[in-house]
Amino acid sequence: MISVDDALALLFDLVSPSPSETVTLRAAAGRVLAEDVRALRDQPPFDASAMDGYAVRSAEVAPGASFRLVGEAAAGHRFPGRLAPGQAVRIFTGAPLPDGADRVVIQEDVTASGDVITLGQSIDTGPHVRPAAADFAAGARMEAPRRLGAHDIALLAAMNIAELPVTRRPTVAIIATGDELVMPGEEPGPDQIIASNSFGLAALVEAHGAVARLLPIARDNIESLQTAFHQARGADLILTIGGASVGDHDLVGDVAATMGLERSFYKIAMRPGKPLMAGRMEGSVMVGLPGNPVSAMVCGHVFILPMLRAMQGLGAGAAPSFDAPLGVELPQNGPRAHYMRASLANGVAAPAASQDSALLGVLARADILMIRPPHDPARGVGEMVKCMHI
């Protein structure tokens, strides 16, 4: 058995960053920016009013001062002239500030009568002007690599970037294996259960930029597994689920070997997740996940997501972790790193009562994994433990 860190390093050795492709801005959310992009214009492109009111010269602003109204500036329609002393322009939020003006007095502080406006006795400080390029200037850079979220998309739109280079989405073929499995919605036989973690993994990898191909369930025989591996051809990553352990019906490793798997490792000092295997298989990377529903999902967080990040150009690093104080006492840990389903309430980490790797309900209620190193000594309330969000 190798350590989690060694397994991760070997997995990173198997993958490389995907090439880039150009996509429209609408298709870019969730993708990873492959090259720096630069703003094509200033934003705002002109000094703009931040309020509805009157554009004036700030030097002339005083309680009770009067101005002659000479025109209007609205968003999209600038006042064509130049403001002379003693003049004001009616202005609305987003409109270009007229030449000669440097201040907007909000309309609440003004009385208008015909083409004369008079300021009240108390005027707020203003100036309610957004200087040109206050948000960003032409040429401002968004640096790659970067996973593009909704805020980035809005910023890129404002920069007038309609198309951009992103790394290609990794394709992930997912093969659930087992005679006992049926698909959700099917009628299970008396000894059957519903395939679950294959759906969970598809959702997990798709939420992190990959395209999942959920293949038909492979049965616990050589032919069926061979068919599944054939169907998976061409995927960047092939994930099998189950059949990874030492039982008579655990055939995944053997069949994969006959089909060209060059094994990188098998078995990790980790709980859950011990019988993990991985290697190169034709043009793909194959990772054999343990069948227990929670084991497969935990391995998804600890190994598959970091691999997908590396494949999308985000670098080779373990899942982000943080420290939190323990809410309960814990006994000494055994020889395998323990990834405990836990909750984080008011910043305090508390593991679920049962850590059986078959219990998806416990996983669905957990918001973090608490990570205990091999042989970690007993821990008391308040001691800091390493955690990761899931």
Binding site for ligand MOO (CB under 6 A): 271-274, 290, 292, 295, 357
Among residues 384, 375, 360, 233, the alpha carbon closest in space to that of 300 is found at 360
Nearer to ligand LQZAQKY5, 167 or 357 (CB): 357
Contact 233, 282 (CB under 8 A): yes
Q: What's at 318, amino acid-wise?
A: A
Q: Is 264 in the site for ligand LQZAQKY5 (CB under 6 A)?
A: no
Nearer to ligand MOO, 273 or 300 (CB): 273
Radius of gyration (Cα) for the chain, nearest Å?
30
* Burial of 63 from C-beta contacts in 10 A (0-12 / 13-18 / 19+): exposed
240 binds, among ligand LQZAQKY5, ligand MOO, none (CB under 5 to 8 A by kind): none
Alpha helices in 140-221 (DSSP H): 150-158, 197-206
CB of 352 to ligand LQZAQKY5, least distance (A): 17
CB of 292 to ligand MOO, least distance (A): 4
Nearer to ligand LQZAQKY5, 33 or 244 (CB): 244
Q: Which of 93, 107, 196, 224 binds ligand LQZAQKY5 (CB under 6 A)?
A: 196
Total residues at interface with ligand LQZAQKY5 (CB under 6 A): 26
Nearer to ligand MOO, 98 or 273 (CB): 273
Query: Cα–Cα distance between 270 and 228 in angstroms, integer?
Result: 28
User: Got the DSSP string for 317-352?
Assistant: -PPP-EEEEBSS-BPPP-SSEEEEEEEEETTEEEE-
Peptide bond into 145 cis (omega under 30): yes
CB of 271 to ligand MOO, least distance (A): 5
Nearer to ligand MOO, 66 or 354 (CB): 354
Interface positions with ligand LQZAQKY5 (CB under 6 A): 176, 178, 180-181, 193, 195-198, 241-247, 250, 272, 274-275, 290-293, 295, 357
